[in-house]
Structure 1
């Protein structure tokens, strides 16, 4: 790495995220400016850890949806019988997709590759088993570097897992930096493929932050919508199908009673290994004889109740709820989350200058900037890691070094 970057006071970083929903890539171009900001404001709770956050400004953003063919390729990765060869091939292929998405954003923003400090790429998770020391995200960073001409920071989760953490959720670091408050306890809920929360106690330091995956999110609901419609629906748009049905409370009660994950206290994390196609098949058997709308309503309320259970495990005081992720568009899911979780107030991330749909991409831009600065970005109280570590691995751009950029239009 060019160590002169350590002394940068301001710079542009690209953040990229593709979550467990596997529907596309969020790309954010962010300017960071060093000002020594810490949200602690003398509140303490850092256990001696120096916590410095830059000012952040979103310059431009882009969502690149996967085509139906690309989604089929991605979902092949989630099958238990997937071959190592296929994973290796898709590592390169997804690297091309990510690289092309970043190059498109830079072109649309009129920004030259040499003006980018780094790209922070989360990649696509294909397997997450932190209790066995395993978490795998693919999307070859060397390919991304070759396509864009930019250096890349990637592979953010393994360092946390290596020191005993869950490797997830990671975004609580970002949540603490930009959503914490001296006056209010806040819960930051992200509803992606998996739902997760960050609990920011009033006036707390980063060492007092709690966070964990509460359970399923869009991933399960999307799979049911696709199954019920024979593939015609990719998801239940705005919760319209669920709104036409009636949830079966006794079925939901049974699911919750036997769901060991939901009742575990954090730190904890989950994924398709827990709430994938096998899970859906088992639960659909419990809904035999129910119409499509009732099935969707039942599963949607189940997701809402697992979110509320997670919140009530971690928060005993009044709280504000900040919601991001694609799931916030599902009106029935949001209605039931508010009904069962009972927040004092619902807060839009946009009130803090952070578009809901770009929050995670912006978070990985922050992680890349902090990597360059040599700062730890995991939150051990959230992941269960033994201690703070710098997250990510650096891939220098051969394109930048050689004055040559791979033609991204060919990928």
Structure 2
């Protein structure tokens, strides 16, 4: 691939006696190397992907993932993030913001080392940050969202420019700021002759429905509800913190689904809301599992099996209501849930005869997909391309997403 700078930047003194100065981007070129960073609701670690892009428009975009890894969080890091999300005051949130910047920077340097790629060849980093609070808009007022992970720290430690805070502009424009990946899904994975659903099962589940490549139909995307977040919380409680997820679905396989409890859980009002819609740990988190366990005294493995079925059935219910009527030829599942064979079997049973495949069938490591997406969103920012999907988020219109932090000069 021909390596050219993503953008050239010049220092210009503004015409002011106070000598204010601004950074002005002069030109965007057709070749860019980007690192995408993602830390999701599951709090299992930081995903980092190195992606090479060629092109300057969505329809002409070509890409290749050159490296990927996950840097797992330690138990202490996970607990610090959990506390910040549930009870963090100003001092704790400030500390987490700075520490996450350091951790993200380390992940950037580690993925470069592991991939044999010189960090100096990277044009920009796209960092989603860590969502600590997400309040969707209502009929009466706009929403609010907060992602931590100091971009200035990432830029200072790596020397690389950073695009961050992608959700904020869509939220300011009246949208949910989520899901953020639908534009990327359309740019990278739309296919001729196939209507696809791309389902991510991270902490929270989200889906993008893609029309056929040459169709004029709008894409549709929304959060489907809990992905792994409730399952993980139940496993942590059952094991007194020794386990953080249901490895290979072993606990769910040992348990028995309580159809009575499952039916009650599916009465949550979130599942019936019309898209656009988004959610997070504010609705589905540790406190949710504590409440369920108190009201329904199941054996732990039975509860974990029931929560696994909740994820599969809530996804399938959303598909039957909003996606299948549009036409659906195939489903691709990425994220940690794709590695849970019990969950995947439940989902396949719910959606039969529609084929349910993993990200491998898309030609991408399913674990890397969201990190690749944030690399693509940074590429779009640098090319001044709107990359929200108003049909998915409910924003007033297309917007260029993200805030730019220069690297070291």
Q: TM-score scaled to structure 2, two decimals?
A: 0.90
Deviations 1:288-323 (A, max 9, x none): 1x2222111111111111111111122223420000
Please list, as runs of the form range in 1=range in 2, the aligned pairs for 1:135-154 lying within 5 A after superposition. 135-154=145-164
SS at 2:236 equivalent? helix
Shift of 1:207: 6.1
Deviates more, 1:358-367 or 1:279-288: 279-288
Q: Provide the secondary structure at the position in 2 that maps to 1:89.
A: helix
Q: Secondary structure at the match of 1:274?
A: coil
**What is the Cα deviation at residue 277 of structure 1?**
2.1
Give yes or no for the alignment of 1:97 onto 2:106. no
The answer as to 2:45 corresponding to 1:24 is yes
**For the residues of structure 1 that align with 2:313 and 2:259, how far apart are their CA atoms?**
11
Query: Residue 275 of structure 2 aligns with which residue?
Result: 266
1:7 positional shift: 2.8
Shift of 1:36: 4.8
Match of 1:239 in 2: 249
8 Å CA contact retained: 1:166, 1:269:
yes
Equivalence for 2:284 = 275
Q: Distance in 1 between matches of 2:219 and 2:43?
A: 28
Question: What is the root-mean-square deviation in Å for CA atoms of aligned residues?
Answer: 1.7
Kindly provide the CA deviation profile for residues 346-403 of structure 1, in whole angstroms up to 9, marking residues without a partner as x. 2332233221000000000001111000000000000011100000000001x3x1xx
Matched, 1:67 2:77: no
**C-alpha contact (below 8 Å) 1:127/1:135 kept by paired residues:** yes
Superposition deviation, residue 69 in structure 1: 1.1
Quick check: 1:159–1:391 contact (8 Å CA) kept in 2? yes
Out of 274, 288, 292, the position equivalent to 2:300 is: 292
Change (3 A) 1:95 1:283: same
What residue is the counterpart of 1:125 in the other structure? 131
Instruction: Find the aligned partners of 2:257 and 2:239 in 1 and give their Cα distance.
Output: 19
Q: Which of structures 1 and 2 has the larger relative contact order (alpha carbons within 8 angstroms, sep 6+)? A: 1
State whether structure 2 residue 306 is matched by structure 1 residue 335: no
Matches within 5 A, 1:252-401: 252-257=262-267, 259-288=268-297, 290-315=298-323, 316=325, 317-342=327-352, 344-397=354-407, 399=408, 401=409
**Residues 35 and 278 of structure 1: CA distance in aligned 2, closer, same or farther (over 3 Å):** closer
| 2:33 equivalent to 1:12 | yes
* Distance apart, 1:343 and its partner CA: 5.0
Q: Where in structure 2 are there 5+ consecutive unaligned residues? A: 1-7, 10-23
Structure 1 runs not aligned, ≥5 long: 39-52, 402-411
Counterpart position of 1:83:
89
CA contact (8 A) 1:11 1:33 kept: yes
Q: Does 1:191 align with 2:191?
A: no
TM-score (norm 1): 0.89
Distance 1:347 1:204 in 2: 23
Of the three residues 166, 170, 178, the one matched with 1:156 is: 166
Summarize the Cα distance change of 1:88–1:189 in structure 2 as closer, same or farther, 3 Å threshold: same
Per-residue displacement from partner, 1:46-94 (whole Å, max 9, x unpaired)?
Answer: xxxxxxx520101111110011111111111121x32011101110000
Change in 2 beyond 3 A, CA 1:218/1:5: farther
* Length, aligned pairs only: 382
3-state SS of the aligned residue for 1:208? coil
Partner of 1:252: helix, strand, or coil?
Answer: helix
Greater mean alpha carbon deviation, residues 54-63 or residues 205-214: 205-214
**In structure 2, distance between residues paired with 1:5 and 1:122:** 25
Q: CA–CA distance in 2 between the matches of 1:206 and 1:22? A: 37
- Asked if structure 2 preserves the Cα contact closer than 8 Å seen for 1:321 and 1:343, the reply is no
> Would the aligned equivalents of 1:94 and 1:140 in 2 still touch at CA under 8 Å?
yes
Contact 1:251 1:286 in 2 (8 A): no
In the other structure, the counterpart of 2:14 is: none
Asked whether the 8 Å contact 1:13–1:120 carries over to 2, the reply is yes
Listed one character per residue, the Cα deviations across residues 191-230 of structure 1 (whole Å, up to 9, x for unaligned) are 0000011111234657610000010011110000011111
- On the 8 A contact 2:234/2:300 being kept in 1, the answer is no
